[in-house]
Amino acid sequence: MTAHAEIAANQENDLRQLCHALQENLELLLPDGQPSDRVRAAMRAGTLPSGKRIRPLLLLLAARDMGYDLTKRGILDLACAVEMVHAASLILDDIPCMDDALMRRGHPTVHREFGENVAILAAVALLSRAYEVIALAPDLPSQHKTDAIAELSAAVGLQGLVQGQFQDLHDGGQSRSPEAIAITNELKTSVLFRAALQMAAIVTDAAPVMRQKLSYFAQDLGQAFQLLDDLADGCKHTGKDIHQDQGKSTLVQMLGADGAERRLREHLRSADEHLACACHRGVATRQYMHALFNQQLAMFN
Q: What pLDDT was estimated at residue 138? A: 96
Which amino acid, 57? L
Which amino acid, 256? G
Q: What pLDDT was estimated at residue 238? A: 59
Q: How wide is the angle at C-alpha 273 spanned by C-alphas 164 and 13, nearest 5°?
A: 85
Reported as type and span, the H/E element at residue 103 is strand 103-104
Put residue 100 in one of left, alpha, beta given phi > 0 → left and psi -120 to 50 → alpha.
Answer: left
Which of helix, strand or coil describes residue 262? helix
Q: What pLDDT was estimated at residue 279? A: 84
Q: What pLDDT was estimated at residue 189? A: 96
Which residue from 235, 221, 219 is spatially nearest to 265, judged by alpha carbons? Answer: 221
Q: What pLDDT was estimated at residue 243? A: 57
Reported as type and span, the H/E element at residue 25 is helix 3-29
Based on the number of CB atoms within 10 Å of its own CB, is 265 exposed (0-12), middle (13-18) or buried (19 or more)? Answer: middle
Q: What pLDDT was estimated at residue 236? A: 57
Task: Give the C-alpha separation, 39 to 163, whole Å.
Answer: 26
- Please list the rounded mean pLDDT of every run of 10 residues in the chain (301 residues): 72 94 97 94 95 96 95 96 98 95 91 97 98 97 98 96 95 89 96 98 96 98 95 68 70 90 96 91 91 84 62
Which amino acid, 224? A
Task: Give the C-alpha separation, 299 to 88, whole Å.
Answer: 28
